[in-house]
Amino acid sequence: MLGMHNQLSNEFRSFLMPLEFFYSKNEVKLPEIFPINQDMLPELQNKLLAHKVDMTSTLSKFHNSEIYINVIDNEINENYVLRMVVLKTIDGDVPVEFGAIGIDLSRLPDNMIDEINDGRKPLGKLLDDHNVEYISNPRGYFKVKQDELISETLNNPVSCDMYGRCNEITDINGFTIADIVEVLPNF
């Protein structure tokens, strides 16, 4: 796996799969990623990352604005979508999250799939809009030394430390809807 670090367990590497996919695809080295415990997150990042709800609603409340996605790169097949995205506020067009997501379309209603393929609304918003019952399962937290891609996407200086989480969204029966890697800018 291109750019993976020796300190990452195989389990944590699997959590990073959506992000690692795009870095590998573009033959770019993954930035330095260090798994951490929740209690190692700074106070604000802990508030924004350490919860069992979707990031869309959390960031929307924090920034007092609806959120939309800007797709940086994607791969789509009949039943699965992989995307690298930046989430931005509608009010002010401020980047509030960089991330990558893999979505299993076979677990979602047809009318929601059309909106996913449209690529404007974040998954959390679509799940709520379509009344899809789900469970958010944070799988791990990390510190990342951002690279040029993350820096440009989030308008933050290169090489500063940022924080993120790996999350799994499941349906109420425990089947995975999405695997997500989420990185917050420094606020």
Give the pLDDT confidence score for residue 167 in this predicted structure: 97
Is domain 10-183 given the CATH code 3.90.1170.50 in the classification?
no
Give the pLDDT confidence score for residue 78 in this predicted structure: 85
Say whether pLDDT at 2 is over 70: no
Assigned token pair, 23:
């870095």
Give the pLDDT confidence score for residue 158 in this predicted structure: 77
What distance in Å separates the CA atoms of residue 94 and residue 86, rounded to the nearest whole number?
Answer: 10
pTM over the 0.85 mark: yes
What distance in Å separates the CA atoms of residue 146 and residue 100, rounded to the nearest whole number?
Answer: 15
pLDDT digits (tens, 9 = 90+) for 162-186: 999 999 999 999 999 999 999 999 8
Give the pLDDT confidence score for residue 6 in this predicted structure: 53
* Alpha carbon of residue 91 to chain centroid: 21
Q: β-strand 134-145 against 33-36: which pairing, if any?
A: antiparallel
Q: What ranges do the domains of the chain cover?
A: 10-183
Say whether pLDDT at 146 is over 60: yes
What distance in Å separates the CA atoms of residue 130 and residue 172, rounded to the nearest whole number?
Answer: 15
pLDDT digits (tens, 9 = 90+) for 119-139: 999 999 999 999 999 999 999
Mean per-residue pLDDT of the chain: 92
What distance in Å separates the CA atoms of residue 103 and residue 110, rounded to the nearest whole number?
Answer: 14
DSSP secondary structure code for residue 106 in this structure: G
